[in-house]
Structure 1
Amino acid sequence: MIKPLARQFFMRVSYDGSKYSGVRWNPLKKTVESTIDKFFETYVGKQRCSLRATSRTDKGVHAASNILHLRIKDPTRAINIDHLAYLLNHYLWKEEEDIRILELIETPFFRHPVELIKQREYVYRFAIFKEILVPVSKNTTVNTVRTQALPKQGLGNIFHEKSCVTLSPPFSVDKLLESAELLSGTTNIYNCTTSDGHREMERKKMGNKSYVRDIQVEVVRGHPMLLDLQPQLADKLEFWEIHFKSQSYINKQIRRMVGLMVGYAKEEYSLEFLKKVLSGQSLSHDDILTLHRPYATFSMPPQGLFLKNVELDNEMMEEASLRNPYIDLLANLSHLNFILHKNRTTCSSKPVTLKDLTQKTQAQLSEKINLNDLTLKNKGKDAKDFSLVKTDLGVVKVSIY
């Protein structure tokens, strides 16, 4: 059996986003990736592995279950998945990090991580004050009540300041449910992202059609996490959750969609205006001023947002244990790519070509990599091809140009 020269794993993690500047690696900030990467740099070696998040979360956004892609490049290293997860959790606990490894799963080495993701589910949690909790004089304006008498929107309450957002009245749950029906289904999210999101879409050359997404939106009743310790708050607050299910998202999409729903429930936007924003057409200058006017809700704070789950494609995941001629061929090509990489000169970062290998003997190649599972047959000094063998598909010829 031919084994690939690199092994891939999915690392399911949970973390408190309030302590990290997002999940993706950033050399100038502390992120979830950079924190875990320190462990592998110490115990595995920086050049022998790579780590990359499959689902991006911004600063302050939490994850109940996110997935990071781990690639081990050392073919000789034996990996005990359970032991590695235990060591990593112990390291994170010792460093007082708010990250935990839930499980490690080996994935097919020939599959790109994006192919294995079926859909992602997010949850936004918030609480609504049922009534004004402090006496207010008749001359007090609504804006004064919101900024002085009640906790400021987004700061949370006494036991949810890092995981829930509090909203002050007025608030209509019926309008919240109505907006959820409007957003659910095929939705154009062009106006639900930032300039960074638009630049990312242009860089990927996705086109305007990619803004049309299939999204499932559901509003359900939530509950306080510490109800037993503070039961008196249950009579003063209503907890709600908005669940989002989709294959992919763009920058700040969910927080802005929740902002539109909350703004409509707080009677800051009309139904016609909400439909116009979700139509995907470019907004006028007056419409933009309406979205960004003082005391209006557009983009919600990050602390109420959780990445609940990243669902995997089980059929593709099971391919990791399958053996067939096609997979053996891919493993052979993985060997060949590794050989080309290992035999490059130290003074140049450019990989060698198959033609360069014709100048080396098999003994010279064996100095850098074990060729027990792969045979490269050089057909003469001026050979125009190599033959990759050891596959049930027969001899595979790779031409040199």
Structure 2
Amino acid sequence: MSFTKFVLVVKYDGTQYHGFQWQAGLATIQAELERAIEKLCGQSSRVMAASRTDAGVHAKGQVVSFWAKPALSTLTLVKALNYYLPGDIAVKAAYKVSNDFNVRRDALSREYCYYILNSETRSPFSKMFALFMPKILDIEVMSRACQLMQGKHDFMSFATSLGSVRSTVRHVYEAKISKREDFVIFHVEADSFLPHQVRNTVGLLSRLGLGKIGIGDFYDIMEAKSLGLAGPRAPACGLWLTKVNYSKPFGLESSEVKLVGVEDENL
């Protein structure tokens, strides 16, 4: 029997998981998705993700693919998988796509947001989804640093490890700081990211915003191209994968009208 490639847009609270990627004996998002697919389809299927989020990192717009029998409708797939998945993982949409579509290689960019609760008082409702910082951050100087990061640069200083990474050059299409009520939000879009790049960036931006370093120090660290120099990294709790962008809509059959990614939401 022939199989069809399906794509899912997935949202999850990563608090209780050791990242997206499957790890023996550990709870991961991939393992839960594959378990739900096997229950629904009666067969095992390997899931591929557009961005492999780390332990404790959340997602509003993760994009994954897998193979299954073509008889499944996309609407049925969404409803059935959400029935089998645990409460902290949900499928937003499903698509049938061409066999040569690759969720990782065909992605043009990934977008992440990091939430900081910048308030004198902590909130019990956001402690798992945002970093609490009671001292007021200087958003203006943080925004100036964001401008330095835009464009194509060597971000080695913002990586914790390299592993199989061939190049530390990344193209940052947008980096900005915004304020929404008591939240300071760092938004970044790039073609791809180095290991822990976003969290190391937030850690350095936070020290800049607190006056512990100056804008010249930020620039020097960026230009040093020295592995891990931007650390220590910010905690995982505030980081969200918000959207994955592609050059054209997913292909053959859709469970909804909106085609790519998930818009940012309030916490």
Q: Normalising TM by the smaller chain, what interval?
A: 0.7 to 0.9
Equivalent in 183, 189, 196 of residue 155 of structure 2: 189
Equivalent in 74, 77, 83 of residue 84 of structure 1: 77
Number of the residue aligned with 2:175 = 217
State the structure with bigger RCO (CA 8 A, min sep 6), 1 or 2.
Answer: 2
Contact 1:219 1:241 in 2 (8 A): yes
* TM-superposed deviation, 1:8: 0.9
Contact 1:6 1:109 in 2 (8 A): no
Number of the residue aligned with 2:235 = 301
Number of the residue aligned with 2:219 = 275
Q: Deviations over 1:198-250 (max 9, x none)?
A: 1121xxxx24xx42423410111123xxxxxxxxxxxxxx3211111112112
> When the two structures are aligned, how many residues end up with a matched partner?
253
Aligned-partner SS, 2:2: coil
Number of the residue aligned with 2:107 = 117
Q: Deviations over 1:305-360 (max 9, x none)?
A: 11111122216x34x58xxxxxxxxxxxxxxxxxxxxxxxxxxxxxxxxxxxxxxx
Q: Name the % identity.
A: 21
Contact 1:188 1:280 in 2 (8 A): no
Number of the residue aligned with 2:138 = 172
* TM-superposed deviation, 1:21: 1.3
**CA distance in structure 1 between the aligned counterparts of 2:117 and 2:37, rounded to whole angstroms:** 40
* TM-superposed deviation, 1:175: 1.5
Aligned-partner SS, 1:199: coil
Larger helix fraction of residues: 1
Q: Mapping of 1:227-306 within 5 angstroms?
A: 238-282=182-226, 298-306=232-240
Amino acid corresponding to residue 177 of structure 2 in structure 1: V
Q: Over aligned residue pairs, what C-alpha RMSD do you find?
A: 2.4
**CA distance in structure 1 between the aligned counterparts of 2:187 and 2:225, rounded to whole angstroms:** 25
Is the counterpart of residue 54 in structure 1 residue 44 in structure 2? no
Contact 2:7 2:95 in 1 (8 A): yes
**CA pair 251-5 structure 1, distance change in 2 beyond 3 A:** same
Contact 2:48 2:103 in 1 (8 A): no
Equivalent in 97, 101, 112 of residue 91 of structure 2: 101
Contact 2:17 2:55 in 1 (8 A): yes
Amino acid corresponding to residue 238 of structure 2 in structure 1: G
Contact 1:192 1:253 in 2 (8 A): yes
* TM-superposed deviation, 1:40: 2.2
Q: Deviations over 1:233-274 (max 9, x none)?
A: xxxxx3211111112112111001111111111122232221
Contact 2:63 2:103 in 1 (8 A): no
Amino acid corresponding to residue 15 of structure 2 in structure 1: S
Q: Which runs of 4+ in 1 moved over 4 A?
A: none
Number of the residue aligned with 1:160 = 126
Amino acid corresponding to residue 300 of structure 1 in structure 2: A
Contact 1:189 1:213 in 2 (8 A): no
**CA distance in structure 2 between the aligned counterparts of 1:312 and 1:174, rounded to whole angstroms:** 32
Structure 2 residue runs of 5 or longer lacking an equivalent are 254-267
Larger strand fraction of residues: 2
Equivalent in 9, 12, 21 of residue 15 of structure 1: 12
Q: Deviations over 1:26-53 (max 9, x none)?
A: 1221111101211222332344x32122
Amino acid corresponding to residue 313 of structure 1 in structure 2: S
Structure 1 residue runs of 5 or longer lacking an equivalent are 134-155, 224-237, 293-297, 322-401
**CA pair 212-12 structure 1, distance change in 2 beyond 3 A:** closer
